[in-house]
């Protein structure tokens, strides 16, 4: 059977006059290459319809489901965001309660807002080796399920943004024992399950709905993702209804061909590529641990850590994570994924070859040598792990976000009700959620972030005189 890419090439070669959208009419204008626009078609004979698939898209998604160990799979061209919005909306009725990890992507909170949901949180625990949060443990979920009998679904993130992997199989069993579906935001884990050298995917572990970003860890273009359904705990028609609501009605065929191509690559070469990735990661980690003196590299390879994420702790090095990321970018031409006051995150995928790993190792060792003399200049940025209990929720996110607001100086906001989200992005985990009472701990966290040079999304004013939106008294 043809891939979607092959079908698009075949259609383009027929020299059919396009008296329809898109407006470029498959001709190159400006800077876009002809090979790209030639494949950018709409729903015409042979290309199928994403929102009512009957032909090649239906076959491609069925093939994807088989490859990804899912009952059903949907192509997404609005990223994992649209998958999360649809999954939460289909699983939890309007006004219901979602039991979710506090360290969730902002799209989870947007789904809570759109459906007027109540949120109960799972916090995880602080990681012992770095300033980040572990996924919720089964024991925490068991306690939360007893505490929140009104919950209609459970949602976790695994792998986390930093690569920590949850015990999904045990969490799924607990949720199912209470009659609830488990939704897993596996946006950073589309590569899991393709090789025995890597952990199993959430689909294999029994999760009911799984959202994966093919563009994050597979060779696929930005904005592409997958939504998998694996049980009847979430109604299939309701899920499709919300996908039609949230996803564009004009899906990009080059993006969908990119999904199909990435899955084809993983089907034919995935196991070898992943095994090479893990071997190079372990070699890199070992070399760094032997040779570095100042920087402390978090040795997660033996634990529940995704080898595609290298966490570099710079606590005690004399620089913040932001400064370290800038050094790597400006002096060595290496752009890292994310920085926090005490760490830097580098992403490694199947597209990285041995030369890329050597370049990264040489740069980190060179930086380490330069920083070894500055160890006394500790920035003392303080931890920012998000596992601490959230402030008191006075009202729901929707009630607060839709209310009348006013701006308050951050230093004077203690005790007031937040009217906005405050978070660093990435990763997007909220320091404050609309409807929560502002506390001194949250104010100190925001102040530490600003002092370290980070932009806290949701603030007004300036870094020197920050303002926070609060509900009018």
Same domain, 407 and 367: no
Note whether residue 96 is domain-resident.
no
pLDDT band at 130 (very low <50, low <70, confident <90, very high): confident
Q: What is the pLDDT of residue 299?
A: 55
Note whether residue 461 is domain-resident.
yes
Domain that holds residue 458: 397-471
For the residues 308-318, what does the mean pLDDT come to? 84
Same domain, 401 and 367: no
Same domain, 361 and 445: no
In this predicted structure, the answer to whether residue 193 has a pLDDT above a threshold of 60 is yes
Q: What is the pLDDT of residue 160?
A: 94
pLDDT band at 135 (very low <50, low <70, confident <90, very high): very high
Same domain, 290 and 361: yes
> What are the tens digits of pLDDT across the range 215-224?
999 999 999 9
Looking at per-residue confidence, does 41 or 295 come out higher?
41
Note whether residue 169 is domain-resident.
no
Same domain, 353 and 410: no
Number of H helices, E strands in the chain: 14, 16
> What are the tens digits of pLDDT across the range 21-65?
899 998 888 898 888 888 899 998 889 999 999 999 999 999 999
Which CATH number covers residue 293?
3.90.1150.10
> What are the tens digits of pLDDT across the range 354-369?
999 999 999 999 998 8
8 A C-beta contact, residue 172 and residue 181: no
Note whether residue 405 is domain-resident.
yes
Same domain, 369 and 401: no
E strand residue ranges, 84-150? 97-101, 118-122
For the residues 348-358, what does the mean pLDDT come to? 95
Q: What is the pLDDT of residue 185?
A: 98
Measured between alpha carbons, how far is 303 from 312 in angstroms, rounded to an integer? 16
Pick the last residue of a domain from 323, 340, 374.
374
Same domain, 358 and 430: no
Note whether residue 326 is domain-resident.
yes
Q: What is the pLDDT of residue 378?
A: 45
Note whether residue 39 is domain-resident.
no
Same domain, 369 and 282: yes
Q: What is the pLDDT of residue 320?
A: 85
Note whether residue 446 is domain-resident.
yes
For the residues 228-249, what does the mean pLDDT come to? 97
Q: What is the pLDDT of residue 377?
A: 47
For the residues 60-87, what does the mean pLDDT come to? 98
For the residues 183-192, what does the mean pLDDT come to? 98
Note whether residue 61 is domain-resident.
no
In this predicted structure, the answer to whether residue 285 has a pLDDT above a threshold of 70 is yes
Q: What is the pLDDT of residue 379?
A: 45
Measured between alpha carbons, how far is 441 from 385 in angstroms, rounded to an integer? 12
Structural domain count of the chain: 2
> What are the tens digits of pLDDT across the range 385-433?
555 667 899 999 999 999 999 999 999 999 999 999 999 887 778 999 9
Helix (H), strand (E) at residue 69 = none
Same domain, 355 and 401: no
Average pLDDT in the chain: 91
Q: How many residues does the chain have?
A: 473
Which CATH number covers residue 457?
3.90.100.10
Same domain, 279 and 364: yes
Same domain, 368 and 412: no
Backbone angle region of 447, left / alpha / beta, with phi > 0 → left and psi within -120 to 50 → alpha: alpha
Same domain, 340 and 401: no
């Amino acid at each position: 059977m043809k891939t979607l890419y092959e079908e698009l090439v075949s259609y383009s070669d027929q020299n059919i006059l396009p008296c329809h959208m898109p407006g470029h009419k498959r001709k190159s204008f400006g800077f876009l290459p002809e090979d790209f626009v030639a494949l950018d078609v709409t729903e015409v004979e042979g290309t199928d319809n994403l929102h009512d698939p009957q032909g090649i898209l239906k076959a491609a998604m069925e093939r994807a489901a088989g490859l990804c160990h899912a009952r059903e799979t949907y192509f997404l061209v609005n990223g994992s965001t649209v998958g999360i919005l649809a999954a939460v909306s289909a699983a939890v009725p309007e006004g219901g309660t979602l039991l979710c990890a506090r360290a969730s992507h902002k799209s989870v909170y947007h789904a809570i807002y759109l459906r007027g949901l109540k949120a109960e949180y799972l916090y995880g625990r602080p990681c012992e080796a770095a300033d980040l949060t572990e996924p919720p443990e089964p024991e925490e979920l068991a306690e939360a399920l007893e505490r929140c009998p009104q919950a209609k679904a459970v949602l976790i993130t695994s792998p986390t943004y930093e690569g920590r992997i949850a015990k999904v199989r045990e969490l799924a069993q607990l949720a199912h024992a209470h009659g609830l579906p488990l939704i897993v935001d596996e946006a950073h884990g589309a590569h899991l399950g393709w090789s025995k050298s890597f952990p199993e995917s959430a689909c294999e572990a029994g999760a009911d709905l799984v959202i994966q970003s093919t563009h994050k860890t597979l060779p696929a273009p930005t904005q592409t993702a997958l939504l998998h359904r694996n049980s009847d705990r979430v109604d299939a028609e309701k899920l499709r209804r919300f996908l039609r609501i949230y996803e564009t009605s004009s899906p990009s065929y080059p993006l969908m061909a990119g999904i199909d191509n990435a899955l084809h690559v993983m089907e034919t070469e995935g196991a070898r590529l992943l095994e090479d990735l893990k071997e190079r990661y372990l070699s890199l980690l070992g070399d760094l641990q032997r040779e570095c003196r100042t920087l402390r590299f978090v040795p997660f390879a033996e634990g529940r850590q995704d080898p595609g994420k290298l966490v570099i702790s710079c606590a005690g090095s004399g620089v913040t994570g932001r400064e370290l990321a800038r050094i790597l970018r400006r002096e060595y031409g290496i752009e890292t994924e994310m920085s926090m006051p005490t760490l830097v995150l580098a992403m490694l995928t199947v597209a990285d070859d041995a030369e890329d790993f050597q370049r990264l190792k040489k740069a980190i060792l060179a930086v380490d040598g330069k920083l070894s003399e500055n160890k006394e200049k500790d920035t003392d940025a303080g931890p920012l792990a998000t596992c601490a209990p959230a402030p008191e929720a006075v009202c729901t996110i929707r009630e607060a976000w839709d209310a009348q607001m006013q701006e308050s100086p951050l230093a004077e906001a203690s005790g007031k009700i937040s009217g906005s989200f405050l978070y660093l992005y990435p990763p997007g985990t909220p320091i404050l959620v609309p409807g929560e009472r502002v506390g001194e701990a949250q104010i100190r966290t925001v102040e530490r972030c600003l002092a370290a040079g980070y932009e806290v999304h949701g603030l007004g004013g300036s870094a020197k005189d920050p303002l926070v939106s609060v509900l009018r008294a």
